Structures are given as C-alpha cells and as structure tokens.
Amino acid sequence: MPSPAKWFKPASIVIVLWMALGVVMLTLDLMTTAEQAAALPEAQRLLREERPMWLMIVFGLATTLGLLGGVALVARKAAAQTLLLLSLVFVTIQFGYTVFGMQAIARVGAGHALGVPGFIFAMGAFSLWVAIKARNDGWVE
C-alpha cells in the first residue's frame, strides 16, 4: 500500500474531530430540557417541537456513521468511503426535510435555515472526497 500524501493524516484527524462534534451536538440536542427549549426564539422552538422522531434517528445515523467513517479514514480502511457516503445521504435527508418539508426558510430565514446546514453538507462532501481519493490512490485497504 503506497504512503498517503502528507495532507491525508491531518485531514483525516480534522474529519474525525468534525464528526465527533456532530455526535456532541446530537447528544446536546437530546439532552435539551423543556425549559431550555422554551427559551429558544419561537420559530426555532416550533421547528424543534414539530420534528418527527424519524428525523432524530436520521440525525443520529448521519453523525454516528460520519464519526465511524472518520475513524476508518484515520485507520486507513476502505470502509470509510461507504460510511461517509451514507452519512452524507442522511445529512441530505435531514436538512432536505427540514428546509423543504418543514418550510424552515419561511420560518427562520434563509441565513439560518441554509447557513449551518450548508457548511455541514460541505464538510460531509469534503470528507467523502478525501475517502474517495484515498481509495482511488490506494492509501486505504
């Protein structure tokens, strides 16, 4: 197996840290108390209250598979590509439903509804690109 480019290991570590942050955000979301949720601006609170349970499961799958994919990248395992692809699919479902199915843009504005989700999607796409590059270049087994 050829040695990866010098940027591969730092990029893989950043991906693991990013994906771990997603798991932390999921955990904080699940641990949010009713009092904390009540303190949110009304539009955000309503979006939170109206989320279907399956959307939280999708959130969990997106973050967990992303973290596993990042760890697989660091370990130089080819499974990283599949895990990160699945994570990105679940991110797309999660934010697609929130933006279009729950009309998030009309409720909280385009900046809030698209800004952070867009960055999260971009990081997921970058992570998948790294995994594909690693597999194509033979850096993973």
Rg (CA), the chain: 17
3 is a domain residue = no
- Domain coverage including residue 54: 8-136
Torsion of CA 35, 52, 123, 131, to 10 degrees: 130
1 is a domain residue = no
If DSSP states are collapsed to H, E and C, what string results for 37-51? HHCCCHHHHHHHHHC
Quick check: 62 and 29 in contact, CB under 8 A? no
DSSP letters spanning 50-114: H--HHHHHHHHHHHHHHHHHHHHHHTT-THHHHHHHHHHHHHHHHHHIIIIIS-HHHHH-HHHHH
Look at residue 13 and give its three-state secondary structure.
helix
141 is a domain residue = no
Q: Which amino acid is at 99?
A: V
pLDDT the model gives residue 48: 93
Convert the pLDDT of each residue in 65-113 to its tens digit.
999 999 999 999 999 999 999 999 999 999 999 999 999 999 999 998 9
How many domains does the structure of the chain reveal?
1
31 is a domain residue = yes
Convert the pLDDT of each residue in 9-56 to its tens digit.
999 999 999 999 999 999 999 999 999 999 999 999 999 999 999 999
